Chains A and B, each alone.
Chain A
């Protein structure tokens, strides 16, 4: 290992089994407690943003609120509708929860430390394809969503499941593309090495103070980071992309039939763990990983020993706070807007940025043919713009034509009030007040007033 940049791929795979078990249990416990803390933190923060107190009864500052909620959830009646496909219905919560935890196994928390006399990195494991593992786990999580919706055999659940999976796979493409620039810059897919590559650039000398140049990929690859920040909201079904649980139209979406028992708790758990995972990926790939940010990094001990774990979790809380902030600020988008944004904006932008960045990178290779590369870059930019304008104007024209047609139909309808097509009931119909007209009394349905059931 390199003492200044931290562990790399060669430092992994030497742990004895007991150490792996300790690390795995640690990650598991941290994620479980993290979910309890996350639920409380989100409710508390969003409350303060909306000028209310939020949970403040259970424990100090309401800190025990989510523990109480979890206990209550366990003591609720477990309802399994009789129409469900039992195997799929029971398997779905497990399928959705397990990959959510697994994605955290490649998250780097810190450099080499000594645990019970064994030198080991503060990371469960690392792979040559670590980021691919995170994406794969996100994809397997979609199976949980689809199967939960499908196995419930209820219209709301199946619609919610379809919507949710369509949204997640759409944003997964944009997410996967936003990583490409990071891999171009780092030249590796291993998370620990990507963190090592973000360790310190040069320094600027400002009035005798040495200010280090930003080496985070969030700054040098800003477009990728912005796209990733958007897709991580879409990928985890969070506001403003929380269409799957559009309460007004889909009740609870794919988990409608999972009542409020421990099975539902699995979905809740998976949702929050997924939020932590995408936040962790954001930190690892774009925000410098476990390295201390500038003012702290002046202190020499900041990036050694166990301290980096603290910086990592502080960053995690801050990114999570960003999620809450977005939730407090933005309304939910419409479904067609969501899909259009993912497919027509994020993907082409992403591809254009990747090619542009690759071209810039090729320019820096000394013996390359500069004129050729520049021509290539120009062709890419012009071609991209041409496609964009062509399709945009085409769609604009179509939209206007459609609007004009609808307007014309309205005009027609206004001229003939009888056959207007609007659902206005005729005013001379007999009204039904639970009392039928004389003569039809025998088979009449007796009205049951509400609340008497």
Chain B
């Protein structure tokens, strides 16, 4: 646990600084009220009303997020394997090849169904 204490110290320092900066921001500058300033910026046109709760966004981003989870988990499997490679030997190598081939099946499927194309 002692290894994590210094990280906590730095976290307190950084969080304190960031929170301080954000909270004094309204007080250091001048205040000149103007109705148009308080609208969302849309290059000068009337701002588009935004639905409460975020509204819709393109499905592509959700697919990207899903794929990210799949591959991120793959990475998490690869790290301990890489560290323990010398003691696992040939068994570890074969296991990892099988695992990556399994992930590649999903990857190839997504590629084939154009999940990786953006337009």
Asked whether A and B interact, the reply is yes
Chain A residues engaging chain B, CB cutoff 8 angstroms: 12-15, 17, 20-21, 23-25, 27-28, 74-83, 90, 93-94, 97-98, 100-102, 104-105, 124-127, 132-133, 150, 152-158, 162, 165-166, 169-170, 172-173, 176-177, 179-181, 183-184, 187-189, 251, 256-257, 261-263, 265-266, 335-336, 339-340, 343-344, 347-348, 351, 354-355, 358-359, 361-362, 365, 368-369, 372-373, 376, 380, 383, 387, 391, 394-395
12 further interface pairs, Cβ-Cβ under 8 Å (given A173-B68, A266-B18, A354-B78): A12-B2, A20-B5, A124-B6, A127-B3, A156-B41, A170-B64, A177-B78, A184-B82, A189-B79, A263-B22, A365-B86, A391-B111
Known: A125-B3, A354-B78. A187 touches B86 (CB 8 A): yes
From B24, which residue of chain A is reached at the shortest CB distance? Answer: A262
From B9, which residue of chain A is reached at the shortest CB distance? Answer: A24
Question: Which residues, 8 to 30 on B, are CB-close (under 8 Å) to A?
Answer: 9-11, 13-15, 17-19, 21-22, 24-26, 28-30
From B103, which residue of chain A is reached at the shortest CB distance? Answer: A351
Complex alpha-carbon distance, A20 and B6, angstroms: 5
Complex alpha-carbon distance, A28 and B17, angstroms: 10
Chain B residues engaging chain A, CB cutoff 8 angstroms: 2-7, 9-11, 13-15, 17-19, 21-22, 24-26, 28-32, 37-43, 47-48, 50, 54, 57-58, 60-61, 64-65, 67-68, 71-72, 75, 78-79, 82-83, 85-86, 89-90, 93-94, 96-97, 100-101, 104, 107-108, 111-112, 116-119
Chain B residues with CB under 8 Å of A81's CB are: 38-41
* 6 closest Cβ pairs, A-B complex: A154-B40, A336-B118, A13-B2, A183-B82, A101-B14, A262-B25
Known: A132-B79, A358-B93. A94 touches B15 (CB 8 A): yes
Chain B residues with CB under 8 Å of A17's CB are: 5, 9
Tell me the dominant secondary structure on chain A's binding face: helix
The reply to whether A176 and B116 form a contact with Cβ atoms under 8 Å apart is no
Complex alpha-carbon distance, A343 and B114, angstroms: 12
The reply to whether B7 and A262 form a contact with Cβ atoms under 8 Å apart is no
Complex alpha-carbon distance, A41 and B89, angstroms: 48
Complex alpha-carbon distance, A25 and B24, angstroms: 21
Chain B residues with CB under 8 Å of A362's CB are: 89-90, 93
The reply to whether A155 and B96 form a contact with Cβ atoms under 8 Å apart is no
- A71 to B: closest C-beta gap in Å: 10
- B23 to A: closest C-beta gap in Å: 8
The reply to whether B25 and A124 form a contact with Cβ atoms under 8 Å apart is no
The reply to whether A77 and B4 form a contact with Cβ atoms under 8 Å apart is no
Chain A residues with CB under 8 Å of B89's CB are: 362, 365, 368
Chain A residues with CB under 8 Å of B82's CB are: 180-181, 183-184
Complex alpha-carbon distance, A28 and B64, angstroms: 34
The reply to whether A102 and B10 form a contact with Cβ atoms under 8 Å apart is yes
Complex alpha-carbon distance, A155 and B40, angstroms: 9
In the complex, 14 of the A-B residue pairs with CB atoms within 8 angstroms, ordered by the A residue number, are A20-B6, A20-B9, A76-B29, A98-B11, A155-B40, A166-B65, A170-B64, A180-B75, A184-B85, A187-B86, A188-B83, A189-B79, A261-B29, A365-B86
Choose from B4, B32, B85, B118 the contact partner of A339 (Cβ within 8 Å): B118
Complex alpha-carbon distance, A125 and B61, angstroms: 36
Complex alpha-carbon distance, A210 and B35, angstroms: 73
Chain B residues with CB under 8 Å of A172's CB are: 68, 72
The reply to whether B40 and A355 form a contact with Cβ atoms under 8 Å apart is no
